[in-house]
C-alpha cells in the first residue's frame, strides 16, 4: 500500500511541473503568440500548474522571480513541446494550436479498480470559445448556422472517433480542412 501511495505522489509531482516558454493572459495573446511572461531559459523557467488536483492557482518561476496567478485569470501556457489551456481549473492539452477549430486532449486517471487512464477529447469553435466534448452532435450544434460545413459534417463523420482524422498531406485535422474549404480560408 505504501508503494502505491509513493507512486501516486511521484506521479502527481511529475505532472505538476513543466518547463515552459511562456504564459498567455488572453485568447488573443495565444492567437498572436504574445506572452505575459516569456521564459528566460528552459532551465530557469517552470510552471507549476498542478494538473491533477484542479488547484485554482498556478505558480510561475522565471529565473529569480516567482509569480502566482489564478488559473481563471490566465488563458494558458506553452512549454517546449505543447500548448495548454486552462478552463474551470482544469488543464487541456491543445493538439492543433494553429488551426481554427481547436482540439484538446485531457487524460482521465484510472479509477480505484486498476482501470487504465483514458484520453478524452474536446473542442472549441476557436481559441476563445467554450470547450465542449468533441462529438458529432456538439459540432453540429455549434455550427448549426454554417450550412455547407454542417452538411459536410453529416457526410464525412459517422462516429465520434472519426473526428480525430488527421490529413497528413495538408498537415491538419480533416475537420479544419473541411471548415477552411467551406469558408475559403487558406491552410495554415
pLDDT recorded at residue 125: 97
What is the number of structural domains in the chain?
2
For 105-132, the pLDDT digits (tens) are 998 877 667 678 889 999 999 999 999 9
Tell me the average pLDDT of the chain: 84
For 57-74, the pLDDT digits (tens) are 888 888 888 999 999 999
| Residue 36 reports pLDDT greater than 70 | yes
Whether 69 and 60 have beta carbons less than 8 Å apart is answered as yes
Q: Which domain holds residue 25?
A: 1-87
Q: Are residues 69 and 126 in the same domain?
A: no
pLDDT recorded at residue 19: 43
Region 161-167 average pLDDT: 97
Q: What is the DSSP letter of 144?
A: T
Exposure string for 111-145, b = 16+ CB within 10 A, e = fewer? eeeeeeeeeebbbbbebeeebbebbbeebeebbee
Q: Are residues 35 and 102 in the same domain?
A: no
For 20-33, the pLDDT digits (tens) are 488 999 999 999 99
Q: Are residues 26 and 43 in the same domain?
A: yes
Q: Are residues 1 and 81 in the same domain?
A: yes
CB count within 10 Å of CB 90 equals: 14
pLDDT recorded at residue 187: 53
pLDDT tier, 185 (very low <50, low <70, confident <90, very high otherwise): low
Q: Are residues 44 and 28 in the same domain?
A: yes
Q: Point out the domain boundary residue: 87, 122, 150.
A: 87
Q: Are residues 69 and 138 in the same domain?
A: no
Q: Are residues 101 and 177 in the same domain?
A: yes
Q: Point out the domain boundary residue: 87, 105, 135.
A: 87
Q: Point out the domain boundary residue: 60, 87, 114.
A: 87
Q: Are residues 74 and 41 in the same domain?
A: yes
Amino acid at each position: 500500500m505504501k508503494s502505491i501511495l509513493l507512486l501516486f505522489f511521484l506521479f502527481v509531482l511529475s505532472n505538476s511541473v513543466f518547463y515552459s516558454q511562456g504564459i498567455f493572459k488572453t485568447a488573443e495573446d495565444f492567437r498572436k503568440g504574445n506572452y505575459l511572461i516569456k521564459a528566460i531559459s528552459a532551465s530557469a523557467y517552470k510552471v507549476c500548474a498542478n494538473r491533477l488536483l484542479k488547484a485554482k492557482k498556478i505558480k510561475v518561476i522565471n529565473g529569480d522571480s516567482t509569480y502566482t496567478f489564478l488559473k481563471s485569470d490566465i488563458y494558458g501556457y506553452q512549454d517546449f513541446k505543447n500548448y495548454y489551456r486552462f478552463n474551470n481549473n482544469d488543464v487541456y492539452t491543445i493538439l492543433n494550436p494553429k488551426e481554427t477549430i481547436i482540439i484538446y486532449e485531457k487524460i482521465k486517471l484510472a479509477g480505484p479498480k486498476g482501470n487504465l487512464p483514458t484520453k478524452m477529447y474536446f473542442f472549441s469553435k476557436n481559441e476563445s470559445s467554450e470547450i465542449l466534448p468533441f462529438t458529432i452532435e456538439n459540432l453540429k450544434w455549434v455550427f448549426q448556422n454554417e450550412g455547407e460545413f454542417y452538411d459536410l459534417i453529416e457526410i464525412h463523420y459517422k462516429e465520434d472517433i472519426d473526428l480525430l482524422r488527421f490529413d497528413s498531406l495538408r498537415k491538419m485535422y480533416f475537420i479544419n480542412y473541411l471548415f477552411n474549404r467551406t469558408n475559403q480560408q487558406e491552410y495554415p
